[in-house]
């Protein structure tokens, strides 16, 4: 009997040690599968829409543009159960308290574009190499909805979104990436149930450009890769995590739009993208203003944040 009790005790101790890890791995795989399925559904739905801009521009753009985009546009190509305005996000399963990828707790969910990222509001001018570039952005209120699969989605919408002007980057006059964002979807795969953490059951899907839209859903790693230039950035990502890679310019834009939710550094840091326009130049984005510029691929001083897809 003593030997049996000892064996059971040992089994219990081993189970107590290994079970949380096994449960965590199962949850991670489940969330990853759900995230990819949601991304596929949104990509297919948005591809059926003739254009992503223009919804709500004839009415009260600030208050109702996102709701109009959902009801008159997205709901026609995607099955939606419930729609909520910015003041009633909780009615669509949106939690008020969540955790960023960096482990920070945020107790108020962003209700406007400017709440999501302060650089989405107003008129901004920057100067790069003596040349100025400017944009004007309307701060719109968010809307939310629930899918038939039980996901809760918050929509941030720019009814006047446009295209990236590649000639500006090539001429080194630069531009901001904010106007290219048409719709940004922040999702919670299981509503207000836990853990309500970005990188686990929460994340973001972004649609850029009004036509020929690019839809991305990058999953940033929790930390930067070691310092390096753009040429060796891919190798550094692989060393950090074999399944990771350097984000392209649209994925990096999405990371900038949602920088607060992900808990990414803003400050004066800039990050490399994998988008190359010539043998010696690639795009980067400054995470303070959102400027989208070209830089010599061999240059230093630009950070590397790898992603999974």
Query: pLDDT tens-digit profile of 224-283?
Result: 999 999 999 999 999 999 999 999 999 999 999 999 999 887 667 899 999 999 899 999
Nearest to 178 by CA among 16, 286, 273: 286
Share of the chain above pLDDT 90, in %: 64
Decide: helix, strand or coil at residue 152: strand
Token pair belonging to 26? 């199962």
pTM: 0.88
Contact 178, 157 (CB under 8 A): no
CA gap 80, 237 in Å, rounded: 37
Token pair belonging to 185? 């979807």
pLDDT at 22: 42
Per-residue pLDDT tens over the stretch 64-85: 999 999 999 999 999 998 999 9
Q: Assess whether the previous peptide bond of 52 is cis (omega < 30° from 0).
A: no
Decide: helix, strand or coil at residue 163: coil
**Strand positions, DSSP E, 129-240:** 131-137, 143-147, 152-157, 175-176, 181-188, 202-208, 214-216, 219-220
The burial class, CB within 10 Å (0-12 / 13-18 / 19+), for 152 is: buried
CA gap 84, 88 in Å, rounded: 6
Nearest to 144 by CA among 135, 133, 156: 156
Token pair belonging to 300? 């230093």
Average pLDDT over residues 48-68: 84
21 — pLDDT class (breaks 50, 70, 90)? very low
Say whether pLDDT at 171 is over 50.
Answer: no
pLDDT at 110: 96
28 — pLDDT class (breaks 50, 70, 90)? confident
CA gap 145, 101 in Å, rounded: 23
Nearest to 216 by CA among 243, 241, 191, 181: 181
Residues with Cβ within 8 Å of residue 77, at least 6 apart in sequence: 45, 46, 48, 49
Contact 247, 218 (CB under 8 A): yes
């Amino acid at each position: 009997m003593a030997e049996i009790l000892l064996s059971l005790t040992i089994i219990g101790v081993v189970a107590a040690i290994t079970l949380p890890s096994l449960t965590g791995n199962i949850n991670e795989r489940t969330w990853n599968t759900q995230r990819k399925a949601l991304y596929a559904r949104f990509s297919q739905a948005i591809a059926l829409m003739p254009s992503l801009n223009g919804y709500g521009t004839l009415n009260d753009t600030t208050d109702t543009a996102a709701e109009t985009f959902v009801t008159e546009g997205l709901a026609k190509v995607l099955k939606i159960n419930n729609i909520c305005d910015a003041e009633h996000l909780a009615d669509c399963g949106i939690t008020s308290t969540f955790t960023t990828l960096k482990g920070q707790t945020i107790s108020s969910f962003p209700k406007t574009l400017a709440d999501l990222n302060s650089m989405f509001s107003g008129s901004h001018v920057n100067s790069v190499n003596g040349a100025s570039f400017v944009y004007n952005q309307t701060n719109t209120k968010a809307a939310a909805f629930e899918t038939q699969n039980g996901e809760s989605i918050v929509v941030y919408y720019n009814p006047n979104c446009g295209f990236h002007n590649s000639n500006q980057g090539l001429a080194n006059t630069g531009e901001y990436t904010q106007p290219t964002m048409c719709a940004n979807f922040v999702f919670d795969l299981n509503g207000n149930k836990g853990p309500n953490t970005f990188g686990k059951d929460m994340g973001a899907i972004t649609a850029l450009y009004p036509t020929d839209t690019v839809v991305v859903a990058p999953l940033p790693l929790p930390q930067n890769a070691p310092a390096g230039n753009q040429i060796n950035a891919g190798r550094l990502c692989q060393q950090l995590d074999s399944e990771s890679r350097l984000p392209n310019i649209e994925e990096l834009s999405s990371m900038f739009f949602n920088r607060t939710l992900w808990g990414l550094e803003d400050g004066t840091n800039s990050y490399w993208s994998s988008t190359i326009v010539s043998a010696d130049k690639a795009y980067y984005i400054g995470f303070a203003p959102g400027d989208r510029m070209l830089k010599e691929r061999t240059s230093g001083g630009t950070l590397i944040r790898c992603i999974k897809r």
